[in-house]
Amino acid sequence: MKITKIAVLAVDNEQLKDLERLNRLMAVFCSAIRYSFNRLVEGEKEGKLIKRVQDLFHLNKRYAEDAVMQAKAVMSSQEELLPIRLESVQAKIQKTERKITDYQTGKKTPKKVTAETCLEGLDARLTKLKEKESTLLKHQQEGSTICYFWEKGKLL
């Protein structure tokens, strides 16, 4: 059974070194989660991965297990959220297409920029949204995990 205690740390100048050690441990743990996520995407088995994380990051068994467990949780949440994200992107595409039509037909006029500038921006947005939609559809069709969780430090 695992027990986790939540606490607030009151740190004075004498304990700064301990706080730095704690910060370093958390950084290593986050790296272990990221590493675990990538290895799980590649298909590595959980048991082997726990041992590898222990050796590679010099963590005890509990931290290694928790890193793998959190990586698995991220993967499962991405799988669950894929249809919702796809639906959201498709709604944004429809809205953008409707705006483009409204500006082209003259139903709406831009307030701060010229119509050409506004249409260029909407076309760029539409292109980006369609790329995102194709990526999400590909993952949905293949049943694959979306691997962009830690790519370039941002989500799609």
Residue 9: inside a domain, yes or no? no
Whether residue 149 is predicted with pLDDT greater than 60 in this model: the reply is: no
Q: Report whether 24 contacts 34 (CB < 8 A).
A: no
Inter-residue contact 41 to 147 (CB < 8 Å): yes
Q: Tell me which residue range forms the domain holding 24.
A: 15-153
* CA atoms of 151 and 84, how far apart (whole Å): 21
- Asked whether residue 129 is domain-assigned, the answer is yes
- The pair phi, psi for residue 6, each rounded to 5°, is -105, 135
Residues 6+ apart with CB under 8 A from 117: 110
Q: What is the mean pLDDT of the chain?
A: 88
Taking each helix axis as running N to C, give the angle between helix 46-57 and helix 61-105, from 0 to 180 degrees, rounded to the nearest 10: 100
User: Could you tell me what percent of the chain has a pLDDT over 90?
Assistant: 58
Q: What is the pLDDT of residues 71-101, one digit of tens each?
A: 999 988 888 888 999 999 999 999 999 999 9
Lowest mean pLDDT among 26-30, 123-127, 147-151: 147-151
User: How many domains does the chain contain in total?
Assistant: 1
95 in a domain, yes or no? yes
| Residue 41 included in any domain | yes
Confidence of residue 150 (pLDDT cuts 50, 70, 90): very low
Q: What is the pLDDT of residue 95?
A: 97
Task: Kindly state whether residue 123 falls inside one of the protein's structural domains.
Answer: yes
On whether the pTM is more than 0.95, the answer is no
Is 72 part of any domain? yes
| Torsion angle of C-alpha atoms 9, 25, 70, 84, degrees rounded to 10 | 70
